[in-house]
Amino acid sequence: MLQTTNDVHQQFAGFFNDDKLYPYAYEVSKKLSEGHICIELSDSTTLSTLSLVGNANELQPFILHKDKLYLQRYFSYETMIRDSILAFKAAESDSFADRTARLLDEKEFILQQFPGDNGNHTDWQLVAALSALLNNFTIITGGPGTGKTTTVAKLLAVLYRLAPDTKVALAAPTGKAAMRMGESLRKAGLVTPEPIVPKTLHRLLQYVPGAPYFKHDAASPLPYDVVIVDEASMIDAALFAKLLDAVGKDTRLILLGDKDQLASVEAGSLLGDLCKMPHTINHFDQDSAVFFGHWGPVALPASDQQSALAGHVIELQISRRFNAEKGIGRFSKALITNDTAVIDEMMIAGTDPHVIVDDQYDEATFEKFVSGYEAYIQEPDTLTALRKFNAQRILCPVKGGEQGVNRVNRRVEEYLRKRQLINPSSAYYVNRPVMITANYYELDLFNGDTGLIRPDETGTLKAWFETTDGELRGLWPAYLPEPETVFAMTVHKSQGSEYEDVFVMLPKSANESLMTRELLYTAVTRAKQTVTIQGSKPQIQQIASTSVARISGLAARFEETLSSSSIYGLTI
């Protein structure tokens, strides 16, 4: 990713020497490093005449489309995403009548899976499952505890009843998220004809080492009837395009994620872009509304205004984890909606025992939380110790600075060292918690995997990780590719995880553009029981008023009709 002026200059210096284009090229590259897919222009007259700038159907390094300027590669990604989704819709339309008939034939069985507990209110889990069974492309969104994986477990039960030989793939952007997806589905009671082990997207698509390609693409699609991807908010534009390209258009693709969470680290906020298209979430066309009319209180009116994805994006409404009227549920909702009255009320000390705001950065508050790490150190059983360690975490928006991950990890180590609980005198000391920071397929280790350094029965130090089936796996530390200490971690790295208790340390001074409501919402909702936030009240209020606004043209382009010969032949 291009980060500095020098990087950008080197990238483009040998490519062209055009004083008129260079400032725009620099701005496009800078915006990519900030997560945007393109830049918006107020006047594109000058650019439209330059030789290296083309339109949607031209092979040029830069693409000028309407009022937006793209690097060719990212225009290609955006085009692939749009056209792939429309291809899913076209393919599913031929099956609509047959699918509705078969689902109505199994109505009694389906309703047994969704008994409902909302009286006469719409059971959105049932709506989401039926939509995913009708469609070839479906997004199921909702906050923590709204039942996304429970819904998936139930809809798979229906699919297996309809077609016992259905081939299903489960995936997530990171190994940690894939593991948690498997755990959640097991807890939801999913029973499959044969075991399904969730994979990272890179493993699912079969990454080609040393190249930006995957084995599976449009020419060699994934051999599954259903592909389900969790934590879809973490997927960047490039990976999103390649995933859609690799899924056959007669395959069902189901994406799960929280539209309000942080977007991907790389360019793009695709899940949010798709969910936030006008008249999309929980909007249905006439045919779908008629079908839902057969399902009792699920009956939904057809929307007068439609979007290209009406009937394909379902938001679950009720959290089983959080009470919307108090605690983390109330605070997180107030953050994402910038409800200043509720935020101000809940920042008053003693208002709610599950949400604690320390605006003085009190050392005693920090140490009280850190003392919880003593439990895993004193636990003799390694698997139990690893689970106790993963019951709590300190989350920081940034890595550097006094309140950054690096400094906070050293503070925790110093606290535990003084109490003679650890001895961090060597790189791999006993009870050091470590996190893998990249995907290492040959070791079966993935970005975000967390383990503990402990001796085995012979006294040999190993790094212990929990496998997807709940077993321990030990590796020699020398095999580990420079893991990070992980008493504290960045909020971005915490996505796809949940902990009983979370401590959020906001930096006293930081780039305000980084401090957004999505970031704090993501951090707060990693906690299941309590969240403690060290940060000033004005800062929290400012964060709640600042939202991520990544630039893309995806929503607008769903209304367009580009030539089918658009730039799929370009290198992606």
Examine the pLDDT at 383 and tell me if it is beyond 50: yes
Has 468 been labeled as part of a binding site?
no
Has 223 been labeled as part of a binding site?
no
Query: 377 falls in which pLDDT band (50, 70, 90)?
Result: very high
Has 248 been labeled as part of a binding site?
no
Average pLDDT over residues 83-100: 90
Name the residue with higher pLDDT: 315 or 66. Answer: 315
CA distance 394 to 490: 8
Beta-bridge partner residues of 138:
254
Closest CA relative to residue 422, chosen from 392, 389, 399: 389
Q: What is the pLDDT of residue 448?
A: 81
Has 146 been labeled as part of a binding site?
yes
How does pLDDT run across 161-177, given as a tens digit for each residue?
A: 999 999 999 999 887 78
CA distance 5 to 76: 25
At 70, give phi and psi (nearest 5°): -120, 155
Query: 130 falls in which pLDDT band (50, 70, 90)?
Result: very high
CA distance 293 to 291: 5
Strands of 201-273, DSSP E: 226-229, 252-257
Q: What is the pLDDT of residue 281?
A: 86
Examine the pLDDT at 467 and tell me if it is beyond 80: no
Query: 460 falls in which pLDDT band (50, 70, 90)?
Result: very high
**What tokens appear for 311 in the block?**
């009937």
The secondary structure of 304-352 as a DSSP string is: SS--TTTTSEEE----SSS-TTSHHHHHHHHHHHT-HHHHHHHTSTTS-
- Ordered by where they begin, the domains of the chain are 8-66 (no CATH), 75-321 (3.40.50.300), 327-545 (3.40.50.300)
At 482, give phi and psi (nearest 5°): 50, 65
Query: 305 falls in which pLDDT band (50, 70, 90)?
Result: low
Has 144 been labeled as part of a binding site?
yes
Has 268 been labeled as part of a binding site?
no
How does pLDDT run across 220-273, given as a tens digit for each residue?
A: 999 999 999 998 988 888 899 999 999 999 999 999 998 888 777 777 788 888
CA 29, distance to chain mean position in Å, is 24
Q: What is the pLDDT of residue 14?
A: 47
Cβ atoms < 10 Å from Cβ of 262: 23
Q: What is the pTM of this model?
A: 0.86
Q: What is the pLDDT of residue 3?
A: 40
How does pLDDT run across 329-361, given as a tens digit for each residue?
A: 899 999 989 999 999 888 887 788 899 999 899
Examine the pLDDT at 390 and tell me if it is beyond 60: yes
